Chain A
Amino acid sequence: QVQLVQSGAEVMKPGASVKVSCKTSGFIFIDEYIHWVRQAPGQGLEWMGWVDPKRGVARYSPKIQGRVTITSDTSISTAYIEVKRLQPDDTAVYFCARHPTDISGPWGQGTLITVSS
């Protein structure tokens, strides 16, 4: 079955960088875009971007472009999101997800990134 398993929670200082992984299984990794969505505490959902593992191409939300890099490693069916120059309002749960279809399966379980001095 489809699984997206993310790396664990992190506590980071302002100005640092963090990289979250999303290991996938149960589908052909190179055939699917992987999206990243974040949710600040008590807030709604914010789309951050996607990666196309087949072409190695990514697209980003203009709101955060320049501080975010989304990549993939096809040899281990894993996608990554790196956020640089972290600010306190980057504190959120970060989710990876597939494009919505009949069989897209669950999102990743989420990774809490806390930015605090």
Chain B
Amino acid sequence: DIELTQSPGTLSLSPGERATLSCRASQNIIGNHLGWYQQRPGQAPRLLIYGASARAAGVADRFSGSGSGTDFTLIINRLEPEDSAVYFCSHYRPSPWTFGQGTKVEIK
């Protein structure tokens, strides 16, 4: 199974700043089947990015994904208070799905 390691563990930033989140895979992710999820407290994860760089329907263009192989990045531009959440990367094809441990983004 592919293991995913996210960094940093926590990001504390001010509104309007940019957040850069990293996800490193233990082996090449073929086909770039890598997604990013946002999870607010008490809610289900919400898909933001699939295929490493494609935004899911309804996701603001402040969110962008990039990367290939073993290194992937999620960038959140112009942070807003509502972006306060935990962000998970996930490998999803082929199964099993695996998830990083999460990066907590705090808005000061």
Contacts and interface: CB of A to CB of B under 8 A. Distances in A.
A102 B54 contact: yes
Given A45-B88, A45-B90, A108 B44 contact: yes
Interface of B: 35, 44-47, 50, 54, 56-57, 88, 90, 92-93, 95-102
The main secondary structure of chain B at its interface with chain A is: loop
Contacts of A106: 44, 46
A37 B45 CA distance: 10
A35 B94 CA distance: 12
A110 B101 CA distance: 19
B99 A45 contact: yes
A45 B45 CA distance: 9
B99 A44 contact: yes
B50 A101 contact: yes
A47 B46 contact: no
A95 B45 contact: yes
Nearest to A36: B97
Contact of B44 (A47, A99, A109): A109
6 contacts: A37-B97, A44-B101, A47-B99, A100-B47, A102-B57, A104-B50
A107 interface: yes
Given A100-B56, A103-B57, A50 B95 contact: yes
B32 to A, nearest CB: 12
B95 A102 contact: no
